[in-house]
Chains A and B, each alone.
Chain A
Amino acid sequence: DVKVTQSSRYLVKRTGEKVFLECVQDMDHENMFWYRQDPGLGLRLIYFSYDVKMKEKGDIPEGYSVSREKKERFSLILESASTNQTSMYLCASSLPTGQTYEQYFGPGTRLTVT
């Protein structure tokens, strides 16, 4: 079975802390994505990666960075967490660009910044 796992289901951090969210997929997918999900706004793309060490900004990259050192792992980093980054964070993976592909999602990490 296809699987995308995220390191935490719930996380509480203080303003100004550095936060790492980890995502691992076991499908050998080239593409990986980070979204945030907020009520009334749906899913918004933060960053995506189409290969190891490659990354591209999505719609809302400000305040975030990412790291992809291995194909199966994609990390989202909040350099200095702020209360407006309180949200649900979803990781996804997919086959390469150019195909009509399905994205496979992890269960999400609900981050609260106090």
Chain B
Amino acid sequence: GDSVTQMEGPVTLSEEAFLTINCTYTATGYPSLFWYVQYPGEGLQLLLKATKADDKGSNKGFEATYRKETTSFHLEKGSVQVSDSAVYFCALDQTGANNLFFGTGTRLTVIP
């Protein structure tokens, strides 16, 4: 079945460091891929998405590229800020399916 494997956390970085959070997936067909972010005390919100191979999603300085050949959708940011501290979830959906499959989440802490 469909699944998402996400980099284990927690991740602690200094401000302005480079961030990578790895995500790989297993799916039949051609899923859409998502990164959601959960700030402390809040629900999840969509950070970025990509709907087909080689698409790049981007938002708030974060980027992820849909790589079909490596079944990956790694999240990157060139210079993290303290305000980026949150839990990040990779997810996929199948077109026509009713729900998303989520990874286990990666907690990021950015220290000044």
A residues in contact (CB < 8 Å) with B: 4, 31, 33, 40-43, 45, 48, 50, 56, 58, 90, 92, 97-98, 100-103, 105-108
Assess A100 versus B51: contact at CB under 8 Å? Given A56-B98, A107-B41, A108-B43.
yes
Name the A residues within 8 Å of B43 (CB-CB).
Answer: 4, 90, 92, 105-108
Assess A45 versus B42: contact at CB under 8 Å? Given A40-B104, A102-B49.
no
* Contact (Cβ within 8 A) A97 B100: no
**Knowing that A101-B93, A103-B100, A105-B43 are A-B contacts, what are 18 other residue pairs whose CB atoms are under 8 Å apart, sorted by A's residue number?**
A4-B43, A42-B102, A42-B104, A43-B102, A45-B99, A48-B98, A48-B99, A56-B98, A58-B99, A90-B43, A92-B43, A97-B98, A100-B51, A102-B46, A102-B49, A107-B41, A107-B42, A108-B42
With an 8 Å Cβ cutoff, the count of chain B residues facing the other chain is: 24
Q: Bound state CA distance, A72 and B104, in angstroms?
A: 29
- Distance in angstroms from B92 CB to nearest chain A CB is 11
Name the A residues within 8 Å of B46 (CB-CB).
Answer: 102-103
Q: Bound state CA distance, A58 and B98, in angstroms?
A: 10
Contact code string B17-48 (vs A, CB < 8 Å = 1, else 0):
00000000000000010101000011111100
Name the B residues within 8 Å of A92 (CB-CB).
Answer: 43-44
* Contact (Cβ within 8 A) A50 B98: yes
**Residue with the highest number of chain B CB atoms closer than 10 Å, among A4, A31, A100, A107:** A100
A97's partner among B34, B45, B96 (CB-CB below 8 A) is B96
Name the A residues within 8 Å of B36 (CB-CB).
Answer: 105
**Residue with the highest number of chain B CB atoms closer than 10 Å, among A42, A45, A97, A102:** A42
Name the B residues within 8 Å of A45 (CB-CB).
Answer: 99
Q: Bound state CA distance, A105 and B44, in angstroms?
A: 6
- Distance in angstroms from A103 CB to nearest chain B CB is 6
